Amino acid sequence: MKSKPTYQELEKENIKLRKELDENFKIEETSLLDNILRSSTEMSVAVTDIDLNVIFFNPKAEEIFGYKASELIGKNLKEIHVMENVDYARVQKAIDIVRQGDIYDYWVKMDNSTGIRTLKSQVRGIWDKKNELVGFVLFTTDMTEQVDAEKEIKKLSIAVEQSANTIMITDTDGNIEYANPKFTELTGYELKEVIGKNPRILNAKIQSKEYYAEMWQTITAGNTWKGEFCNKTKQGNLYWENVTITPIKDKEKITNFLAIKEDITARKKAEMALKDSEVGLRQIIDLVPHLIFVKDEAGKFEIVNKATAEVFGTTVKDLTGRRDEEFIATEEEKKHFRADDLEVINSGKTKFIPEELITDSTNNIRYLQTTKVPFRFSPTTKPLLLGVAVDITDRKKAELKLQKQNKELKIAKEKAENSKNQIELITNNFVNGMIYQVAILDENKRKFNYVSEAVYALYGCTPDEAKENPDLIYSKVHKDDIHNLIKKEK
């Protein structure tokens, strides 16, 4: 496809045509003139006689003005302007200037079938060999594309100059040829200080040589590179940039490199602060002996602490991002936990589970007391579940042991009660003497644990009264026998 001529090329053709036109009118070789004018493919040529009647209209003029030559040849310019409803005053002004031997240049916008066009026109006189004015010629060039391109270039230039991002252009060796005002604002370097210098003057030496080598290899191969730079200002302050470097090519040959760089210093500081905060939070939750975890709707662990990972016999890193069903030991437990999780997420309500069982990685049963809270993570509003589970296994085992002991004690007590009843039955009905069990507290004190009903007949008190006050019996024993009684009891 033939490329469009440049403005300079059109000007050269214009000058050439005017020169040939002047020469041919002087020698009056009209047939040669006609061939010359019709051969112009990029410039419109319209010729009138001295009375402003159109005598020539080349194909380019037909294209620009939308009329066939046959429609205009022989018509007067005044008549044509009436047809077009155009003010004739400019034509009169041009004629007056040309009659004085000058050239009249002007620009005009015209709306035709292809839209609004921007035209550059020039009116010149045609002089014969006697140097008398015999006609007029109008050269017109359609400058629409060039004007539009210049507008775009100007718009782009303003955008680059006013961009909130640093924009830099280097040669193929990486030496700076241009940098916009944002560069100066960010780095502290004036443009004149860095022209011809390599951007490595900004290098803070935080990133490795290999990092920059990979970048250079990418762009010199004709590919776009994206990454981050940690640089330093003229004053030595560090700053971060998000960078895109693109090769500029002319017919596949790299002529320059364009770098567009966004200042992300504030973001990087926030990320670093967040990372420090996350490290601190990680240390805190890993110190907590309770199970702490965050899961999504699919049961995938988003966050877990060390205690949770240990229950499943794995690490925090390995457990994070994986689904709970990969680690839960039994199908029954999988169904139980899944049902509870979905209930909390779907209902949006907190659930407290006083006691639930989980089989750990060593196949031991653990008792948990769990609270599950629904929430949404703010950046994505993704529905999640926060769980905190207290391991109550030791407490539960102690409770079970106590329950077992209480049960055994109850059984023993019932057996003892039965034995007591049997003894009382025998002693009360078949033994005439008193049967008793005594506890010796010291040399002078006694306490009855058991006394048969015969005590009433012998000592005149009930068994309960004897147990309450042993002296009711010992006070009635003869003083000479008390020593023998005590000796026998011992």
Mean pLDDT of the chain: 83
- From 394, 429, 445, the end of a domain falls on 394
| 194 and 95 within one domain | no
411 domain residue, yes or no: no
- Are residues 141 and 178 located together in one domain of the fold? no
All residues at 6 or more sequence positions from 99 whose CB lies less than 8 Å from its CB, including other chains: 125, 133
What local confidence, expressed as pLDDT, does residue 19 receive? Answer: 60
Domain residue limits at 464: 420-489
Are residues 60 and 44 in contact, defined by beta-carbon separation less than 8 angstroms?
yes
Write out the two tokens for 318.
């390995």
Residues 143 and 11 in one domain: yes
- Shared domain check, 311 and 233: no
CATH of the domain at 371: 3.30.450.20
Chain segment 116-140, per-residue pLDDT in tens: 888 999 999 998 888 899 999 999 9
Question: Can you give the pLDDT at residue 117?
Answer: 86
**What is the mean pLDDT for each group of 10 consecutive residues in the chain (490 residues)?**
55 61 46 51 86 92 88 90 80 91 89 81 90 92 87 84 92 95 95 94 94 96 95 95 95 94 92 83 89 93 93 93 92 93 94 93 93 82 91 91 87 73 51 50 62 72 81 73 59
70 shares its domain with 126: yes
Same domain membership, residue 209 and residue 240:
yes
Q: Is residue 171 part of a domain?
A: yes
Is 1 inside any structural domain?
Answer: no
- pTM for the complete prediction? 0.48
Q: How many domains does the chain have?
A: 4
Q: How far apart are CA 328 and CA 361, in angstroms?
A: 9
User: Looking at the structure, do residues 325 and 196 belong to the same domain, yes or no?
Assistant: no
Q: Are residues 208 and 126 in the same domain?
A: no
- On whether residue 60 sits in a domain, the answer given is yes
Q: Are residues 389 and 426 in the same domain?
A: no
179 within a domain of the structure (yes/no): yes
Q: How far apart are CA 451 and CA 472, in angstroms?
A: 12
pLDDT value, residue 1: 45
| pLDDT in the model for residue 230 | 95
Q: Could you tell me which residues come within 8 angstroms of residue 14 by beta carbon, excluding any fewer than 6 positions away?
A: 43, 122, 139, 141
Position 390 in a domain: yes
Q: Are residues 137 and 167 in the same domain?
A: no
Which tokens sit at 101? 């031997």
**Residue 276 forms part of a structural domain:** no
Q: Are residues 36 and 128 in the same domain?
A: yes
Tokens, residue 171: 């040669």
How far is Cα 166 from Cα 315, in angstroms, rounded to an integer? 44
- Encode 462-478: b = buried (16+ Cβ within 10 Å), e = exposed: ebeebbeebebbbeeee
Chosen domain end from 209, 238, 268: 268
Among residues 237, 268, 299, the one where a domain terminates is 268
Residue type (1 letter), 51: D
pLDDT tens per residue across span 77-97: 888 888 877 788 888 899 999
| Residue 64, CB-side half-sphere exposure with 13 Å CA sphere | 27
Q: Are residues 14 and 137 in the same domain?
A: yes
**198 within some domain:** yes
